[in-house]
């Protein structure tokens, strides 16, 4: 099941929440079978399964993306970089991939040239002198009036003003272009694309530094340190990228399947039919006692006594008139 949209409906006047809504898509294997908007008291019914809207809220989590690439060059091409550029005291936030040319003002544009880690090779978790990895973006600013200026900006350093020019560039983030960023809670297992199971752990060092570690299958030899903006290879051509701490809305869905529901419904239908028959049919009872001299006839009915009494007298009259009793 996939949650496509999560929404809280509020009263436009009071602002009070009046309903929780989740748009979901249900899959059978990889095939999409049904899409529906689930609301309170309006579940999704499919194949004997009922999916109800149960809760909704928000939580803090770690944004992590998982990417497959044949090599580092291919990995870099999958990334989108975010920067803030100041030109003549005007700041603009822009984004693009390696090789992209982005216009940032009249006659001014920026090209993202390369991306590397100042302390370790991209994709590796080996660090020099235990230094914190520091992603670096290499760029070129093209000013048709003043010329071409090349520079670089570190993600964990303040802005870098290149050569006294009026351009300052802040490298503020990186994320995959197409891959989804998963919001994962600490110490909560989740499946990986290669069939293994991973869990994130936030560890505080003696120096007060908080490190995010990815532990795969609970193995001590498969622990990877994740730093914001630094892809790490965690398997064969499989990379993990920490995108930061985010606050996201979540929806709680309750899935129910009752195998005895069919029997319950069948029994309820039969019970209703029985009650209907009992009400619509008037049970009548006639007894005849025959001796050597005479025959005694008696009868009773649960309802419509007067009508049955007339019917009973006619029966007795028919018997006595035929000479078969008195």
CA angle 298, 303, 309 (to 5 degrees): 40
61-97 per-position pLDDT tens digit:
788 889 999 998 999 999 999 998 888 778 889 999 9
Burial of 37 (0-12, 13-18, 19+ CB in 10 A): middle
SS3 157: coil
Q: Are 266 and 273 in contact (CB under 8 A)?
A: no
Sequence-separated (6 or more) residues with CB below 8 Å from residue 319: 295, 297, 325
Give me the pLDDT at residue 325, please: 44
Whether residue 163 has pLDDT greater than 80: no
How far apart CA 319 and CA 326 sit, in angstroms, is 8
Give me the pLDDT at residue 40, please: 86
Question: What tokens does 63 get?
Answer: 């944004």
Question: What tokens does 285 get?
Answer: 């009872």
DSSP state for residue 164 in the 8-state scheme: G
Neighbours of 212 (CB within 10 A): 20
Poorest-pLDDT segment among 63-77, 194-208, 216-230: 194-208
pTM of the predicted model as reported, rounded to 2 decimal places: 0.57
Q: Domain ranges in the chain?
A: 1-48+257-281, 72-176, 282-326
Radius of gyration of the chain (CA): 39
């Amino acid at each position: 099941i996939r949650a496509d949209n999560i929404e809280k409906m509020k009263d436009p006047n009071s602002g009070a929440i009046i309903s929780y809504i989740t748009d979901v898509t249900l899959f059978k294997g990889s095939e999409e079978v049904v899409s529906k908007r689930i609301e309170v008291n309006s579940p999704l019914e499919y194949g004997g399964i009922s999916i109800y809207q149960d809760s909704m809220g928000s939580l803090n989590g770690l944004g992590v993306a998982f990417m497959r690439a044949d090599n580092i060059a291919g990995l870099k091409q999958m990334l989108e970089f975010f920067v803030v550029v100041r030109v003549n005291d005007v700041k603009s936030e822009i984004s693009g991939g390696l090789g992209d040319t982005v216009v940032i003002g009249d006659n001014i544009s920026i090209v993202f040239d390369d991306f590397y880690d100042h302390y370790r090779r991209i994709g590796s978790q080996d660090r020099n002198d235990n230094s914190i990895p520091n992603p670096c973006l290499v760029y070129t600013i093209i000013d048709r009036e003043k010329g071409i200026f090349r520079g670089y900006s570190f993600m964990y350093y303040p802005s870098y003003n290149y050569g006294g020019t009026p351009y300052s560039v802040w490298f503020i983030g990186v994320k995959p272009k197409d891959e989804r960023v998963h919001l994962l809670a600490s110490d909560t297992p989740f499946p990986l694309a290669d069939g293994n199971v991973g869990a994130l752990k936030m560890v505080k060092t003696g120096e007060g530094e908080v490190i995010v570690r990815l532990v795969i299958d609970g193995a001590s030899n498969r622990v990877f340190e994740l730093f914001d903006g630094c892809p790490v290879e965690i398997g064969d051509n499989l990379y993990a990228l920490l995108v930061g701490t985010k606050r996201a809305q979540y929806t709680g869905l309750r899935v129910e399947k009752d195998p005895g529901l069919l029997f319950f419904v069948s029994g309820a239908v039969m019970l209703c039919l029985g009650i209907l028959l009992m009400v619509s049919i008037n049970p009548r009872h006639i007894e005849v006692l025959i001796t050597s001299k005479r025959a005694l006839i008696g009868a009773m009915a649960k309802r419509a006594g007067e009508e049955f009494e007339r019917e009973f007298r006619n029966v007795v009259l028919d018997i006595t008139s035929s000479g078969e009793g008195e």
